[in-house]
Amino acid sequence: MTEALGEIIESTSLKVVAESFSFLQPPPLGSLVKAKQYGRDGWIYGVVSFGATVSIDPGRRVTRRSTPSALDENVYREHPQLEHVLRTEFEAALVGSKDADGTLHRHLPSQPPPLHYSVYRCSPEEVSEFSENLGYLWVLLDFHGVLSPERLIAAHFREVYHQRGNDLNWLEEAAKAASRMFKNEYDKLTSVLLAIEPER
């Protein structure tokens, strides 16, 4: 079993929200994650679409606990009680599923995973397998979360590119897919292409 990242605290047909097991460390934006299907041996896949550290009390804003010069990781070492008033959450847009026999589906799953199930990190091999067919990107294009679809897709491309061992051939195919998706939206396409350009 791969690493468990968090526990689902909200589940819908479009997304899940999970509380991270690692305080201050949600999984990387755009990364592929998975959760077990209810009553089956299959998996449901999602793309991390947002992360945040927020107050446990939704009606109360977090107040400053230190002087401005000390607002860094030392705050959490000096005030470990912050872990009792804050929590780190992440959201994942659902993009596909895998049956017990290994059949992959790259579209919205018929049912979301249940509350309190764990969300797991996908291995590089799983990421490579799922991203071989980019048809699921249209699900991300229609997803309306905190980030705009083009920013989420760009973040996903960057994360998959690295998980696939900096696979330039795959990145070129991803760029072509983005060109088809945003063919009539030059500004959005440009923002995606600039965001995924490999560092020199």
**Of 171, 180, 181, which Cα lies nearest the Cα of 143?**
181
CB contact set of 140 (below 8 Å; sequence gap of 6+) = 47, 93, 95, 149, 152, 153, 156
Q: Which residues contact 21 (CB under 8 A, 6 or more apart)?
A: 4, 5, 6, 7
Tens of pLDDT, residues 126-184: 999 999 999 999 999 999 999 999 999 999 999 999 999 999 999 999 999 999 999 99
Residue-wise pLDDT for 94-136, tens only, equals 999 999 999 999 999 999 999 999 999 999 999 999 999 999 9
Q: b or e along 117-134 (b: 16 or more beta carbons within 10 Å of the residue's beta carbon)?
A: bbbbbbeeebbbebbeeb
SS3 50: strand
pLDDT of residue 56: 84
Whether 73 shows a pLDDT value over 80: the answer reads no
Q: 40 falls in which pLDDT band (50, 70, 90)?
A: confident
Q: What is the average pLDDT value for the chain, to the nearest integer? A: 90
CA angle in degrees (0–180, nearest 5) for 115-118-121? 140
The sign one gets for the Cα dihedral 177, 161, 153, 121 is positive
Taking the C-alpha atoms of residue 195 and residue 132, their distance in angstroms, rounded to an integer, is: 21
The pTM of the full predicted model, rounded to 2 decimals, is 0.89
In this prediction, residue 106 carries a pLDDT of: 98
Confidence (pLDDT) at 194:
96
**Residues contacting 139, CB < 8 A, separation 6+:** 93, 94, 95, 96, 106, 107, 108
Mean pLDDT within 13-31: 96
Q: At which residue do the structure tokens 């945040």 appear?
A: 52
In the structure, what pLDDT confidence band is assigned to residue 59 with cuts at 50, 70 and 90?
A: low
Tokens at 127, concatenated: 């990421």
